[in-house]
Structure formats: C-alpha cells, structure tokens
Amino acid sequence: MSRLRRDYLTGDRRQVVVVLVVSALSLTFLNFGTTNPAWFVSLLEMLGAGGWAERARSAFEGSDSAQLNRLVFWGGGQILAYTLLPIAAVKLVLRDRIENYGLRIRGVGSHGGIYAVLLGLSVPFVVIASYTPAFQAKYPFYDLAPGEGLWPRMAIWWVIYGLQFVALEFFFRGFMVHGLSPRFGYLSVFVMMVPYNMLHYGKPVLEALAAILGGIILGSLALRSRSIWWGVAVHVGVAATMDAAALAHKGFLW
C-alpha cells in the first residue's frame, strides 16, 4: 500500500496534476490580474514608486491613448498568463521540450485544407451574428473615435490582439491538450473545452455556445496534427472577420 501511495504521482499521473494546477493558476491570474490595471498602480504605490504609479495612472486614465494603454495592458497580461507558468512548468518541472506541446512546424502543411474549410464555414455565421446589437456593442475592443483612422492605434492593438491568440492557442490546444493526452488521450480535448467555454462567458451568448464546438474541433485537430499553428490562423481569421464586420456596421470601413 505504501509503495502504491509513493507511485501514485509518477509518470503521466504526475503530469496531469502539474498541467491542471498550472492551468488553474494561469486562469486565476488571467481573470483577476488582466482585467483592471488599478492593481498594478496600487502595487507600484505599495513598493514606494509613487512617481511611476502616477505615470501609470495617467497612462491608463488621463492620457489621449488611455484606451489603447488599457488594452495593451490586458493583452500583455493575457499573453503572460497563457505562457509564463506553462512554459516554466514544461521546462523546469516536466523536463520536456516545448515543441511537444503543439509548437511543431514540420509537416503541418498537409493539414491546412481542413482548417481552411473550417474558417470558410465560420465566416458566414460571424457575418450573421454581426447584425445583432450584442455583437456590435462588444466589437471591436478598441473603439475608434469619430474621424479616427485605423493607423496607428487600431493597428497597434491588432498586433497585440493577434499575439494574444497565439498565446491562447498554445495554452488550450497546446499545453492542456498535449499535456493531458498521455493520460486521457482524446478525452483531453473535452477537459480543455470546459475552461475554454467559460472564457467566453462575458461575450455574446451565441459566441459562448460556438466556443463549445470550436474548442472541440480545434482541440481535435491540434491533437491530430500535433500543432497549434493552423488553429492560430483560424482564430486570427475569425477575429479579423468579427472586427471588420463590426467596423463596417459602424461606418468606419466605407
């Protein structure tokens, strides 16, 4: 019995515990640490950096680029939440290669066709959803002022937004799916799908429901191809379509 207890957290069982605990910690920081930069200003004040705290407060609240600064804080926080602890866990705890968690590039070209079909099927639903008030109230995240062009602030935001999707795909379809698959196999996709769906609870209900199907499909394809990169392309493509549709409805594209 004692030997069984000693051996319980070995091999793939140990990996499951590491992946799930790290995922919970990362998602907790994602929820509480990226939505409001006020905690960052307070932290600077607690550390005695009053001057830096005032500069940060001004950047987030009083400057002409306050909206962009808040979004960059959010996007940067999301990228860190999705990557920092998982990469540290893979390299330092699991002693594995990060490429084994969905970052493989070689051979992924053969899987591009099915992702292209998936993107093509998604676009009409995005366009239809874009006519709803809830969609137009949510997107794009950066609100253009009357007469403001897409350059430079919207363009800067789109770069951060795109990198955030790379980090998101790595976390859900890379770290979680590939980290849990040695123990759970294909069921790792459904374990990942639950928190991925919950990530969409603050968004329009149709998008939250679509995240269930989307999470299963993208997770299954990532598990099959051993790569997240086509999933990143689909996610970025759908997000670009959503922003373009919302901007078109608001009269910013023509």
Predicted local distance difference test score (pLDDT) of residue 31: 94
pLDDT of residue 191: 98
What domain range includes position 215? Answer: 2-33+64-249
Domains held by the chain: number: 1
pLDDT at residue 1 in the model: 45
d(CA 115, CA 117) in angstroms, rounded, equals 5
The stretch 84-111 carries a mean pLDDT of: 93
In a domain, 47, yes or no: no
pLDDT in tens, 105-163: 887 888 889 999 999 999 999 999 999 999 999 999 999 998 899 999 999 999 999 99
| Per-residue confidence (pLDDT) for residue 3, from 0 to 100 | 54
Please give the pLDDT value at position 14. 94
Q: What is the mean pLDDT of residues 73-102?
A: 97
User: Is residue 160 a part of any domain in this protein?
Assistant: yes
Residue 55 lies in a domain: no
Q: What pLDDT, in 10s, does the model give residues 180-207? A: 999 999 999 999 999 999 999 988 898 8
Q: What is d(CA 132, CA 162) in angstroms, rounded to the nearest whole number?
A: 24
Q: What's the mean pLDDT in 4-8?
A: 54
Domain-located, residue 17: yes
82 pLDDT higher than 50? yes
Encoded amino acid at 82, one letter: Y
- Whether 200 is in a domain gets the answer yes
Model's pTM, two decimal places? 0.92
Residue 185 belongs to a domain = yes
In this predicted model, what pLDDT tens digit does every residue of 25-55 receive, in sequence order?
999 999 999 999 999 999 999 999 999 999 9
Burial 99-123 (b: 16+ CB within 10 A, else e): eebbbbeeeeeebeeebeebbeebe
Residue 50 lies inside a defined structural domain of this protein: no
Q: Is the pLDDT of residue 7 over 60?
A: no
Average pLDDT of the segment spanning 83-107: 95
Band of pLDDT at residue 12, cut at 50, 70 and 90: confident
User: 45 pairs with which residues across the strands?
Assistant: none
Nearest to residue 69, comparing CAs of 102, 36, 22, 100? 36
253 pLDDT band (50/70/90 cuts)? confident
217 assigned to some structural domain: yes
Which pLDDT score is estimated for 204? 87
Whole-number pLDDT of residue 252: 86
Bridge partners, residue 227, by sequence: 103
The end-to-end CA distance of the chain, in Å, is 72
**Average pLDDT of the segment spanning 196-224:** 93
Instruction: Quote the mean pLDDT of the chain.
Output: 93
Instruction: Report pLDDT for 203.
Output: 87
Contact 246, 136 (CB under 8 A): yes
